[in-house]
């Protein structure tokens, strides 16, 4: 049982070790950066997706699915977009034994697959708003080092695409998406900051982009998704227009909202600790693991009791795993801590006798639950655990930020930095150089730890139009 690398000083090594030890992903597949969703990892993904579906459908979005292959002719219609993706797409050039007349792109994102069909679906103002989403895999020919969930070549992806009658309504949809993401993040116990990207870093083809950023220790942040306002940048080239109530024609304003499997990576990165992964109960593959501690004399009694407890928790709708393997209890504790199970119940002869199981949650809090009040007690322990986990993450979030007043303070920073910024691109690039990272942009909600606006731009010293901006080392 080798120890994990130190999370604080060797974050990426720690992260890779946890993903592997918790058996969330198998990277021994024959194409680098395309990983296998293991049985355990898939369960976490499925639970996570359920939350996404619940929250996005609560805002009136419906599921669809568009093809994975996009004709190169459609792909090239929006000029900024093709420029942004050209160097990182996979090309299908051959079908069976012959060359294809029109090469196909394996979708890196689905604007150019969906919008030609939106042009057919949208005819009148009665067809609006059109809010649809899909959960599909996207593909990027990554040239950088790949990491499970964080940077992969086949990406499990959520993308909402909407058409609205005008710019204001599209802005409202952006707000609605941020609200939905807030509720998702709450379920995962993940504090985040929505940050409006600077012009030079927005999505290819967008009017503006809001990144959803999570600090994950030191100056590092992880962008787990984004919300974009497209105005009519795509609807004009793709001809998505409608007849208004007064008979006039207008192009729709579009928005998108994207999230990737990075969400799962963020859960590992934010909640994990020196004993492995830690899952909030909403997405834990198993919420409760029962470890029998049999003795020669009480083997059957312990077996019967643990099976009964497992059956009852399952019937109560909980995801429960009864670990009946041959290993010693200590080895099982170790493994289920690595794998991040929220609550462990230990049941030996003493517990059977007293009709109370020993309970240990993944943050180390010990208690016991009576067999009689099992369902209620376990639900209560999970709630307590989730709140404690959320509080720990919130506290870390608050202490992840620190103001920098001088460019010189950015180098070697062990925090995400808040800086005054005048909005000029040149000043932004100075900040990026100083922190050896990126100026993520201006937060949409007040960043933690600061009161009131900044006094001057950290780069040029001007005070007009200065706002707080976030500088970090995005992963």
Q: If binding means CB under 8 A, how many residues of this protein chain bind its own copies?
A: 51
Give min distance, CB of 67 to its own copies, in A.
4
Min dist CB 145 to its own copies, Å, is 16
Min. distance of Cβ 440 from its own copies in angstroms? 26
Q: Is 407 exposed, middle or buried (0-12, 13-18, 19+ CB in 10 A)?
A: middle
- Closest distance to its own copies from the beta carbon of 66 (Å): 5
Nearer to its own copies, 117 or 178 (CB): 117
Question: Three-state DSSP class for 18?
Answer: helix
Q: Which residues pair with 231 in a beta bridge?
A: 254
**Contact flag: residue 390 with its own copies (CB under 8 A):** no
Q: What's the min distance (Å) between Cβ of 107 and its own copies?
A: 11
> Of these, 2, 28, 406, 451, which contacts its own copies (CB under 8 A)?
28
From the number of C-beta atoms within 10 Å of its C-beta (0-12, 13-18, 19+), residue 203 rates as buried
- Binding segment for its own copies (CB under 8 A), chosen from 27-35, 221-229, 290-298, 331-339, is 27-35
Q: Which helix (H) or strand (E) holds 138?
A: strand 130-139
Q: Are 282 and 187 in contact (CB under 8 A)?
A: yes
29 near its own copies, judged by CB under 8 A: yes
DSSP string for 185-200: HHHHT---EEEEPPGG
Q: What does the per-residue mask of binding to its own copies show for 75-94, with x meaning CB under 8 A?
A: -----------xxxxxxxxx
> Residue 130 to residues 124, 257, 437: CA-CA distances in angstroms?
11, 14, 37
Q: Which is nearer to its own copies, 62 or 436 (CB)?
A: 62
CB-CB contact of 180 with 59 (8 Å): yes
Choice between 95 and 465, CB closer to its own copies: 95
286 binds its own copies (CB under 8 A): no
CB of 340 to its own copies, least distance (A): 18
Cross-strand bridge partners of residue 345: 290, 359
Q: By CB neighbour count within 10 A (0-12 exposed, 13-18 middle, 19+ buried), where does 131 fall?
A: buried
Token pair, residue 195, equals 């940050």
Chain centroid to CA 44:
12
Residue 369 near residue 377 (C-beta atoms within 8 A): yes
Q: Can you tell me which of 76, 82, 117, 388 binds its own copies, judged by CB under 8 A?
A: 117
Site string for its own copies, 147-186 (x = CB under 8 A): -------x-x------------------------------
Site for its own copies in 38-57 (CB under 8 A): 38-39, 42-43, 46
Pairing of strands 438-443, 193-196: antiparallel
Residues 122-151 that bind its own copies (CB under 8 A): 132, 137, 139, 141, 143
**C-beta of 297: minimal distance to its own copies in Å?**
26
What is the Cα–Cα distance from 365 to 361, expressed in whole angstroms?
A: 5
Three-state DSSP state, 205 = coil
Residue ranges binding its own copies (CB under 8 A): 26, 28-31, 34-39, 42-43, 46, 62-71, 73-74, 86-97, 104, 106, 113, 116-117, 120, 132, 137, 139, 141, 143, 154, 156
């Amino acid at each position: 049982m080798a120890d994990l690398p130190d999370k604080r000083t060797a974050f990426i090594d720690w992260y890779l070790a946890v993903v592997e030890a918790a058996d969330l992903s198998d990277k021994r597949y024959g194409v680098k950066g395309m990983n296998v969703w293991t049985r355990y990892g898939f369960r976490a993904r499925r639970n996570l997706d359920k939350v996404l579906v619940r929250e996005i459908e609560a805002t009136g979005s419906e599921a669809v699915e568009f093809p994975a292959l996009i004709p190169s002719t459609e792909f090239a219609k929006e000029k900024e977009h093709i420029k942004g993706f050209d160097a990182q797409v996979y090309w299908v050039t051959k079908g069976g034994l012959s060359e294809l007349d029109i090469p196909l792109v394996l979708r890196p994102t689905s604007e150019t697959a969906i919008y030609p069909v939106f042009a057919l679906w949208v005819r009148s103002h009665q067809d609006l708003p059109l809010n649809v989403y899909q959960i599909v895999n996207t593909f990027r020919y990554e040239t950088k080092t790949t990491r499970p969930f964080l940077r992969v070549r086949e990406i499990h992806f959520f993308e909402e695409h909407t058409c609205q009658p005008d710019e204001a309504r599209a802005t409202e949809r952006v707000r609605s998406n941020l609200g939905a993401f807030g509720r998702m993040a709450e379920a995962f116990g993940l504090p985040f900051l929505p940050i409006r990207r600077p012009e030079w870093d927005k999505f290819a083809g967008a009017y503006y982009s809001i990144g959803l950023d999570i600090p994950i220790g030191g100056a590092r942040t992880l962008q787990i998704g984004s919300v974009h306002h497209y105005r009519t940048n795509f609807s004009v080239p793709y001809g998505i227009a409608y007849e208004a109530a007064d008979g006039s024609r207008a192009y729709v304003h579009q928005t998108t909202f994207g999230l990737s499997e990075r969400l799962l990576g963020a859960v590992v990165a934010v909640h994990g600790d020196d004993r492995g992964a830690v899952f909030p109960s909403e997405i834990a593959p198993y919420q409760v693991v029962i470890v029998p501690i049999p003795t020669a004399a009480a083997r059957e009694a312990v077996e019967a009791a643990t099976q009964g407890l497992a059956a009852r928790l399952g019937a109560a709708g909980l995801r429960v795993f009864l670990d009946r393997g041959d290993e010693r209890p200590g080895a099982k504790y170790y493994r289920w801590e690595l794998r991040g199970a929220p609550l462990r119940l230990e049941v030996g002869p003493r517990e059977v006798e007293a009709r109370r199981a020993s309970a240990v949650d993944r943050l180390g809090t010990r208690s016991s639950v009576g067999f009689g009040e099992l369902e209620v007690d376990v639900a209560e322990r999970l709630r307590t655990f989730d709140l404690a986990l959320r509080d720990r993450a919130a506290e870390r979030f608050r202490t992840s930020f620190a103001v920098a007043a001088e460019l010189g303070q950015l180098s070697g920073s062990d925090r995400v930095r808040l800086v005054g910024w005048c909005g000029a691109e040149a000043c932004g690039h100075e900040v990026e150089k100083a922190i050896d990272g990126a100026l993520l942009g201006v937060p949409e909600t007040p960043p933690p730890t600061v009161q009131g606006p900044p006094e001057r731009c950290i780069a040029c010293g001007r005070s007009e139009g200065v706002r707080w901006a976030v500088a970090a080392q995005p992963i």
